[in-house]
Structure 1
Amino acid sequence: MKIPSAVTERLLLHPLSVDEAERVVAREPGADDRWAEGYPQDGDVRGVTGFLRGIAERGDPGVFRPYEIRLGGVAVGGIGFHGPPDDLGVVTVGYGVVPGERGKGYASEALRALVEIARVAGVAGVKGDADLDNPASHRVMEAAGMWCVAEDEKLRHFYRGF
């Protein structure tokens, strides 16, 4: 299944194929891969590993997959869905940008595009969470129209319904 890339003002969200995902997990770029210093991060590897496991168990998830955040053709981070919508029609999102590119609004821009992918795909809502001591990530989710709906001893939980 060929999933189109999403284009924002500055970024391209490139949907990962199985082959690309396997290279991310191995942390070994192919000849055509252009990765910024620090990519992939541990979170990228965990998310892509879950994607590969999901393909083996349930098949291709369509748009509900990981994407590379590309700036000028270079992967500067990852963003994506933790899997297809749950029984309530809600998807969970995760994201990260390499340290050298943080603070420039790329994560917020990419998350807005990912939320739009979810909305167009017909989900009921999008959720995500971040450590309490990560206010930058809280701001990213707020910039994408997500609201803090709960907080526990470790995490702040965000949600946006459609």
Structure 2
Amino acid sequence: MDALTTPRLLLVPLDREGALRLLSGVPGPGDRWGPGYPDAADRAGAERHLRVLAGAGCPPPFGAYEVRLRGDGLVVGGAGFHGPADARGRVTVGYGLVPGARGHGYAAEALRALLEHARRHGASAVEGDTAVENTASQRVMAAAGMRLVREDGRLRFYAVSWAAGAAESS
């Protein structure tokens, strides 16, 4: 998996060793973690990523990423896919930022990069969900181009899909 680059961010693929560091909470040499990273959601994402690696060997093209600021390389969160595409070509996405990085548009910028990555790699749709009370995450998904598709009283579900043949070969 290659890094994904946006105007302000670098989404760096998470490997097995990186996921293990997240679980331990101890940065490795050269890691620059922002205050509050990793949090419980980052550790849960690292556990999920390790399960995918154990089952599939490697996650390309739908893996997990650390979200870094391009200017200084500071890790300010995580984003990525919950696993490989299902039989219909759908992938599920998640993201989260440390409190100090919120409110700057980074989450929507990272999510747009993931959506484009999924489209280029043949996904038919990307899905995500958030708690009904998490209006910030709902704004992120809407800003990235996802639309609300349903709600169950506890969660709101968002998705974006592409017409057949919309993916480019990579």
TM-score tier, shorter chain, comes to over 0.9
TM-score, normalising length: structure 2: 0.92
What is the alpha-carbon root mean square deviation over aligned residues? 0.8
| Residue aligning to 1:106 | 106
**Cα drift, residue 54 of structure 1:** 1.4
Structure 1 residue 57: deviation in Å? 1.6
Q: 1:159 is matched with which residue?
A: 159
Note the 1:29-44 alignment, pairs <5 A.
29-44=27-42
- Aligned partners of 2:113 and 2:8: how far apart in 1? 11
Q: How high is the TM-score relative to the length of structure 1?
A: 0.96
The aligned residue for residue 89 of structure 1 is: 89
- Which amino acid is the alignment partner of residue 46 of structure 1? A
Q: Secondary structure at the match of 1:62?
A: coil
% identity of equivalent residues: 51
Aligned pairs for 1:1-150 (under 5 A) are 3-71=1-69, 72-150=72-150
Gaps of 5+ in 2: 163-170
Which residue does 2:166 correspond to in 1? Answer: none
Give, in whole Å, the separation in 2 of the partners of 1:116 and 1:31.
31
Tell me, in whole angstroms, the C-alpha distance in 2 between the residues paired with 1:6 and 1:102: 20
Separation in structure 2 between the aligned mates of residue 87 and residue 44 of structure 1, nearest angstrom: 27
How far off its partner does 1:137 sit?
A: 0.2
Note the C-alpha offset of 1:17.
1.2
